[in-house]
């Protein structure tokens, strides 16, 4: 699937503007361009040390901790087939103003007092459930720092994101709902999930890399200067996705 770039986009400026607004809503707190929150000198230093190849294949051994398949606070892994149809959900709950799925067979098995939902099945479907809950996790900007620590895979990139977030000010915004998903790849301890978010009369997509770490699905941080959720694309409809939403 080829992204529809702005210079060739059939969408009007209103759509592009709306995409920016939704991106800001979804990517509040941790989901921001790290370079926008750091000084020029810090950015240049990070660029010199950042890997030039895709993070999944070229990251240095100590840049991200290895996933630990041991332990699982959620349901059993179950079916390892990549979902191409809407998964079965027991119910849809409102979490931090975002409607997210819940299943006794897939998770989340736990919800913290602050509303953070975690403990998903070690399967591609579990990664999809977890990805939907990523959107909800960052909907509350007041808890962005706590969310980063709970949700993201520990490592230097996450530490940099935490420092950047601690210097930013939360701002009020509307929550974004998820309309559908597409599993780009999945296997073992890693899954890449594309989510569709409604914008005006069309959709924009974000891409989340989920890693199995310490018995649960976590969100992988971008390298310095990158943005979580990138690349972003525009879509006329949900033909490239599995439509799945509680609203």
Residue 88 is predicted with a pLDDT of: 96
Rounded to 10 deg, the angle between the 124-137 and 144-151 helix axes is 160
Q: Could you read off the pLDDT of 146-185 as tens digits, one per residue?
A: 888 899 887 665 555 555 554 445 444 556 899 999 999 9
Name the one residue in this structure whose structure tokens are 């890997």.
51
CB atoms within 10 A of CB 14: 11
Evaluate whether 243 touches 235 at the Cβ level (below 8 Å).
no
Residue 200 is predicted with a pLDDT of: 86
Residue 155 is predicted with a pLDDT of: 65
Residue 67 is predicted with a pLDDT of: 43
Residue 174 is predicted with a pLDDT of: 57
Q: Could you read off the pLDDT of 113-135 as tens digits, one per residue?
A: 999 999 999 999 999 999 999 99
Query: What's the rounded Cα separation, in Å, for the pair 177 and 12?
Result: 22
Residues of the chain with pLDDT under 50: 1-70, 166-168, 170-172
Residue 154 is predicted with a pLDDT of: 78
Evaluate whether 175 touches 25 at the Cβ level (below 8 Å).
yes
Give the phi and the psi of residue 125 in degrees, each rounded to 5: -65, -40
User: What is the CB-side half-sphere exposure of residue 203 using CA atoms within 13 A?
Assistant: 20
Residue 175 is predicted with a pLDDT of: 65
Three-state DSSP at 180 gives: strand
CB burial string 65-77: b at 16+ within 10 A, e below: eebeeeebebbeb
Residue 145 is predicted with a pLDDT of: 77
Query: What's the rounded Cα separation, in Å, for the pair 190 and 115?
Result: 25
Residue 140 is predicted with a pLDDT of: 80
Omega prior to 26 cis, within 30 of 0: no
Name the one residue in this structure whose structure tokens are 């530490």.
159
């Amino acid at each position: 699937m080829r992204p529809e770039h702005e210079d060739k986009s059939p969408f009007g400026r209103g759509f592009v503007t709306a995409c920016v607004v939704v991106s800001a809503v979804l990517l509040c707190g941790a989901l921001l361009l790290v370079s926008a929150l750091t000084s020029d000198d810090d950015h240049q230093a990070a660029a010199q040390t950042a890997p030039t190849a895709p993070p999944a294949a070229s990251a240095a051994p100590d840049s991200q901790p290895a996933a630990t398949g041991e332990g699982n606070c959620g349901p059993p892994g179950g079916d390892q087939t990549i979902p191409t149809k809407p998964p079965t959900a027991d119910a849809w709950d409102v979490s931090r103003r975002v409607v997210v799925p819940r299943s006794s067979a897939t998770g989340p098995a736990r919800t913290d007092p602050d509303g953070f939902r975690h403990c998903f099945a070690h399967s591609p479907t579990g990664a999809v459930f977890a990805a939907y809950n990523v959107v909800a996790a960052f909907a509350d900007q007041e808890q962005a720092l706590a969310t980063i620590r709970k949700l993201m895979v520990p490592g230097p990139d996450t530490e940099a994101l935490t420092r950047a977030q601690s210097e930013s000010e939360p701002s009020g915004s509307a929550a974004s709902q998820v309309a559908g998903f597409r599993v780009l790849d999945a296997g073992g301890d890693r899954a890449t999930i594309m989510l569709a978010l409604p914008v005006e009369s069309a959709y924009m997509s974000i891409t989340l890399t989920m890693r199995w770490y310490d018995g649960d699905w976590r969100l992988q941080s971008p390298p310095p200067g990158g943005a979580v959720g990138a690349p972003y694309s525009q879509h006329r409809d949900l033909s490239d996705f599995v439509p799945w939403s509680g609203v």
